[in-house]
Amino acid sequence: MNTHDTHRLARQNRRLVELRVWRNALEQPVEEWRFTGPEGETTQLRLGDRWPSEDFPVRLQATATVPEAWSGMPVELELWLGGEGFVRLSNGVQGGLNPMHRAYRVAESAAGGEQIEIDAEVVPKGIFGSHVYGPGVDSALLVVPETDVRALERDLSMIAEVCAQLPDHEVTPHLLDTIDAALTLLAPVWPTNSKTIISRIVGGQSASRGSGYSQSWAEESGIANPLIEGFGLWSVPEAPSPIEPLSEEARDGVRRAREAVAERLAEIGERYPPVGGIAISGHAHIDLAWLWPLAETRRKARRTFWTQIGLMEQYPDFIFNQSSAQAYQWMEEDDPALFEAIRQRVAEGRWEPVGGAWCECDSNITGGEAFVRQHVYGQRYFQEKFGVRCSVAWFPDVFGYSAGMPQLLRGAGIDNFFTIKISWNETNNLPYDLFEWEGIDGTRVLTHMFRNPAAGYNGNIAPEDIVGTWRNFQQKTQHPESLLTVGWGDGGGGASARMLENYARLKEFPATPRLRMTRVDEFFAAIPRENLPRWVGELYLEFHRGTLTTQGRTKQLNRQAEHRLVEAEVFSALAERHGLAYPHDEIERAWKT
């Protein structure tokens, strides 16, 4: 990109930051809250107060009243209550609370004056189990979204991000011209009064600043006030007046700008059509036991799954995959309504159980019999509960793969294998992304991995992920498409509305890969298996070294437990021949544990 266009893009990005502070037309704080600790003790809090205790989980409840003047307007609730949580509203809306999922629909068209009960279970923890020090009721706003402004901001942001990924492509000056044309249409009608602008910058979404809430995550939510949070100011002055909505003239200007952008992109697309293809599947990688207790894993899964169910209602083409039969069993026990909602989405083909295993198990120290049991119990569960058997092994985050796996996977009815972990190698790059993996006995499974330079398997529907993944795909001459999983894992709540709004804009974008939503099994089924390269033997990960070699005692105990379980089965079978009951449930529970 030449110097002139580099400066143009920088100026445009600055204007987009300014545009984002107009994302809401009206805002009203939810001031009064009731805090209930784990032991049942109750404290009254106000917006901005710290929690009286950091024991968890806690319950935060409030009643929000939609202003009478908002009759006929769409209304949302934006929250940040001090950590990850699960939110339920009295209108039936429910879902996870985390830095990437903070907005909840109150009404498509408010009656005005209606009350909404808010009930949230919250823990003072952030992404990846990080502790939130001094958690508080930081943000609670009823808002009327400035819908067209939000849409224009997404339109222009996607164009700007594509330009950043294609700096030397001949399409880029045309895209920069498109942004300039839109901003030029806005200029005559956009507010310029200093008092209005300062109030909007200082007061708009003022409660988006909060405990345990980093700027990087704030940007992903789309809710942050970037002109305040991005500079780390020592202090912020009071707003000179309440924020004001845009004038109808300005809103008309926004709509005209959107129309101009659509027309220009259509023209550019004829000259520079999409190149390549990315098949997208929603995903939430949840480590069942990592930096938090199992009770929190169950809460994380519940929050994430309800969030994805809600997105399926809003976005009819959205498809989501989730591994680990254990997680589904927990939801069956903890939230039968959620489990039934998942079952319905599985039946219609939009929620895909993947992996066929009880969990995404280790494949280095796990013995052969234990690995087989993972898939016996996983496939059996998915068959019994959903009527499906998985054809794709799902191991995005395991630290290397034994050469014995292909044989065992095929024995479980699985002839496809997915990972991205080997792309993390520090020294030797695996020469293939799409290949046949041959095990020690000659058995082969079709294998695919992608190389997302932005966020790996926690992918985003954004130009950096899409263009980067396609650019890195090494088998373009053998297949026209790479898979990309999208969604924030381990408490990030999976795919987000922001991602799916981006998808609508990027799926046929000029000079970038064409996007489509897919089921993982259908993606693999469409790959021709002729003339693919072959990798023989172990898939060794040149990363995370020492993770297992430092755990000699753990490995020893694991192997002893595996042997004792096999012996217990043998002796139980012998005992059954002499009239004793076979302890089927106890043995199965031990294997699953």
pLDDT, tens only, 366-399: 999 999 999 999 999 999 999 999 999 999 999 9
Residues 459 and 443 in one domain: yes
Q: How confident is the model at residue 234 (pLDDT cuts 50, 70, 90)?
A: low
Cis amide leading into 57 (omega within 30): yes
Q: How confident is the model at residue 219 (pLDDT cuts 50, 70, 90)?
A: low
* Residue 362: pLDDT over 80: yes
pLDDT at residue number 204: 64
Per the listing, tokens 């659509």 go with 262
Within its chain, how far is the Cα of 309 from the centroid? 13
Please check whether residue 542 lies inside any domain of the structure: no
Residues 453 and 366 in one domain: yes
pLDDT, tens only, 82-138: 999 999 999 999 999 999 999 999 999 999 999 999 999 999 998 888 899 999 999
* Residue 291: pLDDT over 60: yes
Distance, in Å, from the CA atom of 239 to the CA atom of 192, rounded to the nearest integer, reads 16
Please check whether residue 544 lies inside any domain of the structure: no
User: Catalytic: which of 5, 148, 180, 397?
Assistant: 397
Give the global pTM. 0.94
Q: Which of 147, 173, 190 is the last residue of a domain?
A: 147
Q: Which of 118, 147, 176 is the last residue of a domain?
A: 147
Residues 91 and 156 in one domain: no
Contacts for 405 with CB less than 8 Å, ≥ 6 apart: 363, 371, 393, 417, 439, 445
* Residue 208: pLDDT over 50: no
The tally of domains found in the chain comes to 4
Distance, in Å, from the CA atom of 163 to the CA atom of 45, rounded to the nearest integer, reads 46
Q: How far is CA 397 from CA 83, 427, 449, in A?
A: 25, 18, 11
* Residue 205: pLDDT over 60: no
What stretches of 335-433 show up as alpha helix (H) in DSSP?
336-348, 368-386, 405-411
Q: How confident is the model at residue 206 (pLDDT cuts 50, 70, 90)?
A: very low
Residues 176 and 134 in one domain: no
Residue 397 appears among annotated catalytic residues: yes
Please check whether residue 546 lies inside any domain of the structure: no
pLDDT at residue number 209: 46
What is the enclosing helix (H) or strand (E) of 462?
A: none
* DSSP codes of every residue in 542-559: SSSTTTTTT-HHHHHHHH
Per the listing, tokens 């545009």 go with 19
Residues 443 and 473 in one domain: yes
Distance, in Å, from the CA atom of 352 to the CA atom of 418, rounded to the nearest integer, reads 15
Please check whether residue 547 lies inside any domain of the structure: no
Total number of residues shown for the chain: 593
Q: How confident is the model at residue 197 (pLDDT cuts 50, 70, 90)?
A: confident
pLDDT, tens only, 122-160: 999 988 888 999 999 999 999 999 999 999 999 999 999
DSSP lists the bridge partners of residue 45 as 33
DSSP lists the bridge partners of residue 569 as none
Residues 234 and 251 in one domain: yes
pLDDT at residue number 207: 37
* Residue 201: pLDDT over 90: no
- Domain span at residue 484? 277-536
- Which among 534, 538, 462, 535 is positioned nearest to 503, based on CA atoms? 462
Q: How confident is the model at residue 231 (pLDDT cuts 50, 70, 90)?
A: low
